[in-house]
Chain A
């Protein structure tokens, strides 16, 4: 049983116009086995939340805490966070030319487990997971994300989730760019991984369609750098019908443009 606890998280980025606050007090607790959906309009800060938890150097945490089972995540390096059990499936996975998928996966697995996987079971698991995700086995000899289609990239992210078995997985728009078949295959992969390891899942999405395949226990509406409303799966249905307009009315929309100058 693991718990990721985010408390009053404030995050800024440095832009050419100065420092801009993007997360403005996010509080959220995710336990093993739970699925939380975060839904929000473009630019509301969803990816910023995901990257901040993973430790991307571009983002500065100005206040708040993030702990995993009581351990201070913000003190950890990016790789330490992953080894502690956090996983981020990225919205835009990065190409690493010349590093083969099989080499990459084996290196990551070895790093996360602290020992090299047994060759025979590893090869079998890898084959099985790739087959489940309907990935071409030839992909393992290609460079990481090198020339992958959007759908291949997303499958590859979920393949990693299945193999690395994180305690808490953050999936940033894993549904974007997928057609219906791919969405179903990828969602089934997430569900399998969740079932096998009891991971807690933070599912970031713009649309409700992925929630037909991955059932959330909690839905959080994310607007302008903070959670505007929380509820159960029924909240997603409301968003589907009404959109985000209700949350973006007047003040929130107006501050959208307001970058805070560094010296303000």
Chain B
């Protein structure tokens, strides 16, 4: 049984396109296949629901069950944080969810080992854990497990740079009462291909924020899945993306509410400029029958700066219990507003500066909430750089 969202979808300015008509998909998200076996996932054709927006023909190398070479890894670890490797079996026993598509299952099958980052229980990190992965043009597979102990407080910044054909599975398993922010920054060269599955398991009463910042790459597709290991957990998924000509950036979120009294909030904003820039945002939220007292909201906004760019935005809400605190979504895609430009210019502000102000303003509500100064600053600078390409 499905109920309608009880928070109305917010209407955007008139005249803006809006693809937010939430629909209940023909198949429940609960039925989507997950497995450890590569053979369980046939090669995607592009006709599957979860691949229908993705240029799969350019991704065949990442679907092939063949070995690659590891990305270069640079890390900076605050005291108490350790990096080690474990076996595939240990990873399976860690509470991490299974791979959910072909690229992710190949990543787990082909990665040399499972890289584990451990933040011990009750550790309160004052500096972020920094991990930078750099590609050198090769096929690569990543399989990473981030384990955060009970009541720990940690920020992890994961950066992707260089060129690669990279598929990865990242599991973030967060203990009870912990408070974790994980930032994944995609600053790839424009030739890179990146298919990622990020699973976040929120412990009882834990608070987890997953933040995706996608600026570079030819194709970047990140599937972020959140689930709850106990009641009282809170998940926030924030995202900022900026697509130029020829780039495909896809962010898919799935928040699976099975435990009661959990909270989720997803907010993604993207800007697009240039011919064939394409972004996709899919936000699936499933509130299962047991998840009473759930409070969830998801929002996606896209700002189209030039002709020829395309933004797809699809929120899906499935609700299997009437006993929820709130569920809503909003999605809107709008063009750059010339009235705003006129207003700023009429105050003496030159066109380039005015454009920058408007776009920075568009992103401000999310950027200000990232809460990791080094990421916020770099992001704002990157947005300014992107804009120098326009006008």
Which residue from A87, A94, A160 sits with its C-beta under 8 Å from B342? A94
- A57-B342, A96-B343 given; A107·B357 CB < 8 A: yes
Cβ contact within 8 Å between A111 and B347: yes
Knowing A96-B357, A97-B362, the reply to whether A83 touches B344 (Cβ < 8 A) is: no
Q: Which chain B residues (324-350) contact chain A, with CB distance < 8 Å? A: 337-340, 342-350
Contact B346 A88, beta carbon cutoff 8 Å: yes
A107 touches B361 (CB 8 A): no
Instruction: Pick from A81, A99, A164 the residue with the most CB of B within 10 Å.
Output: A99
With the chains together, A111 CA to B339 CA distance in Å? 19
When distances are taken between beta carbons in the complex, the residues of chain B under 8 Å from A72 are: none
Residues of A within 8 A of B345 (CB): 55, 77-79, 82
**Does chain B have a CB within 8 A of A104?**
yes
Residues of A within 8 A of B351 (CB): 77, 79
Tell me the chain A residues, 17-74 only, with Cβ under 8 Å from chain B: 54-57
Q: How far is the CB of B106 from chain A (nearest CB, A)?
A: 40
Asked if B358 is an interface residue, CB under 8 A from chain A, the answer is: yes
**Shortest Cβ distance from A94 into B: residue:** B343
Q: How far is the CB of B356 from chain A (nearest CB, A)?
A: 10
Give me 21 A-to-B residue pairs in the complex whose CB atoms sit less than 8 angstroms apart, sorted by A's number: A55-B345, A57-B342, A78-B345, A82-B345, A82-B346, A82-B348, A90-B346, A93-B343, A94-B337, A94-B339, A96-B340, A97-B361, A98-B361, A99-B364, A107-B353, A108-B349, A111-B350, A111-B353, A144-B343, A164-B347, A164-B348
Q: Would you give the shortest CB distance from B375 to chain A, in whole angstroms?
A: 18
**In contact, B349 and A94 (Cβ under 8 angstroms):** no
Give the docked Cα–Cα distance between A54 and B348 (Å): 11
Contact A83 B361 (CB under 8 A): no
Is B365 located at the chain interface by the 8 A CB criterion?
Answer: yes
Q: Does B360 contact A (CB under 8 A)?
A: yes
Minimum CB–CB distance from B213 to chain A (whole Å) comes to: 17
How many angstroms between the C-alpha atoms of A56 and B363 in the bound complex?
26
A151 within 8 Å of B by Cβ? no
A98 nearest in chain B by CB position: B361
Q: Please tell me if the beta carbons of B348 and A83 are within 8 angstroms of each other in the complex.
A: yes
**Residues of chain B contacted by A233 (CB below 8 angstroms):** none
A112 touching B348 in the complex, CB below 8 Å, given contacts A78-B342, A94-B340, A94-B342: yes
Q: Compute how far the CA of A93 lies from the CA of B338 in the bound complex, rounded to whole angstroms.
A: 13
Query: Which residues from chain A contact B338 at a C-beta distance below 8 Å?
Result: 57
Which residues of B lie under 8 Å from residue A108 when comparing CB positions? 344, 347-349
A90, A104, A112: the one contacting B344 at CB < 8 Å is: A104
How far does the Cβ of A174 sit from chain B's closest Cβ, in whole Å?
15
| Given A78-B342, A94-B343; A111-B348 close (CB under 8 Å) | yes
Residues of B359-381 at the interface with A, using a CB-CB cut-off of 8 Å, are 360-365
Q: Given A57-B338, A94-B343, A96-B340, decide whether A79 and B357 contact each other with a Cβ distance below 8 A.
A: no
CA distance A108 to B365 in the complex (A): 22
Of chain A, the residue at the smallest CB distance from B358 is A96
Most buried by B among A77, A83, A107: A107
The answer, among B339, B347, B360, B365, for a CB contact under 8 Å with A160, is B347
Contacts A57-B342, A98-B363, A98-B364 given; does A82 touch B347 at CB 8 Å:
yes
A99 and B360 within 8 A (CB): yes
- Asked if A143 is at the interface (CB within 8 A of a chain B CB), the reply is yes
Interfacial chain A residues near B350, Cβ < 8 Å: 79, 111
Sorted nearest first, the 8 A-B pairs with minimum C-beta distance are: A98-B361, A98-B364, A82-B348, A108-B347, A111-B348, A99-B361, A78-B345, A94-B343
A residues less than 8 Å from B362 (CB atoms) = 97-98
